[in-house]
């Protein structure tokens, strides 16, 4: 459901949580450890967060694991992250499957080694029917890449149509077409930026920034984010008064305004 075409239904627990997992390097540096140690602890935080989301009834969790710009990092860190991805898939997929988690990997796979691509395909096929939680791991993902690949595929599918494409023509080609737009975005690690994550999808998402470094993120951090989300007024362009139409009738001054 597009938040710009229709006002989505809002629930106390966000249906879709999207997280930029940032701060692994700083977590390690503070302990005089190599950055790799921070990334390893980051995988543990992923496990905790997945379990906490399942327990709280979150339906979709999207995690930014490696951006299309992260290739700019030193070669040894990039290759460590790729092998950590391989090892994590090898070790965790069976467990995720038992827990009813559907795994999706979004991003450009062209740059991945064949072994990693095979592991991703197997994991997606194994967990395809699970519906307890859909876990999307964004790897070699960029919001601009997503928009461009979606536009290119949309144009390929409609070779004879001359323009006038709308939102609903594009939506099915986006990498996360199976998920609703994120209700809650979380970025750990203190930076207040989107870093080319879900550019299209965050149009009406509630944003939550925390200084907590990703390896320290746990179920209480998730609860704090959900609590702050609950207190937000999601207006989607409307006024506060429109959100509670019954209140207009019961508050005399508002009744006057509303009836002119």
Q: Reply yes or no on whether 122 is catalytic.
A: no
Closest CB to ligand IPE among 22 and 146?
22
Contacts (CB under 5 A) with Mg ion, residues 151-190? none
Closest CB to Mg ion among 22 and 206?
22
Q: Reply yes or no on whether 146 is catalytic.
A: no
Q: One of 12, 70, 130, 169 is an active-site residue; which one?
A: 70
CA distance 85 to 83: 5
CA distance 123 to 125: 5
CB of 28 closer than 8 Å to CB of 72:
no
In whole angstroms, what separates CA 68 from the centre of its chain?
15
**Per rule CB under 5 A, count of chain residues that contact Mg ion:** 1
Residue 82 interface partner, choices ligand IPE, Mg ion, none, CB cut-off 5-8 Å depending on type: none
Q: Which two tokens stand for residue 148?
A: 């461009």
What is the per-residue binding string for Mg ion in 11-40, x denoting contact by CB under 5 A?
A: -----------x------------------
Closest CB to ligand IPE among 149 and 195?
195
Residue 90 interface partner, choices ligand IPE, Mg ion, none, CB cut-off 5-8 Å depending on type: none
CB of 139 to Mg ion, least distance (A): 15
Nearest to 208 by CA among 8, 7, 20: 20
CB of 38 closer than 8 Å to CB of 24:
yes
Q: Which two tokens stand for residue 249?
A: 């009738």
Mind telling me the catalytic residues? 22, 70
């Amino acid at each position: 459901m597009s938040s710009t075409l229709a006002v989505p239904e809002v629930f106390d627990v966000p249906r879709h949580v999207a997280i930029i997992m940032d701060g692994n390097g700083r977590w390690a540096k503070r302990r005089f450890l190599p950055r790799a140690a921070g990334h390893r602890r980051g995988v543990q935080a992923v496990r905790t967060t997945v379990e906490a989301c399942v327990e709280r009834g979150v339906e979709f969790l999207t995690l930014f694991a490696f951006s299309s710009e992260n290739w700019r990092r030193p070669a040894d860190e990039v290759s460590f992250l790729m092998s950590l991805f391989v090892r994590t898939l090898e070790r965790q997929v069976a467990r995720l499957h038992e827990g009813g988690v559907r795994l999706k990997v979004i991003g450009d796979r062209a740059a991945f080694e064949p072994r990693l691509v095979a592991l991703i395909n197997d994991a997606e096929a194994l967990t395809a029917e699970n519906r307890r939680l859909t876990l999307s791991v964004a790897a070699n993902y960029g919001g601009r890449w997503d928009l461009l690949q979606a536009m290119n595929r949309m144009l390929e599918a409609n070779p004879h149509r001359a323009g006038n494409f709308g939102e609903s023509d594009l939506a099915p080609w986006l990498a996360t077409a199976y998920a609703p737009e994120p209700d809650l975005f979380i970025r750990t690690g203190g930076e207040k930026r989107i870093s080319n994550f879900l550019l299209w999808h965050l149009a009406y998402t509630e944003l939550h920034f925390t200084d907590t470094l990703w390896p320290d993120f746990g179920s209480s951090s998730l609860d704090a984010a959900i609590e702050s989300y609950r207190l937000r007024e999601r207006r989607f362009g409307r006024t506060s008064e429109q959100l509670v139409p019954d209140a207009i009738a019961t508050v005399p001054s508002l009744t006057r305004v509303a009836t002119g």
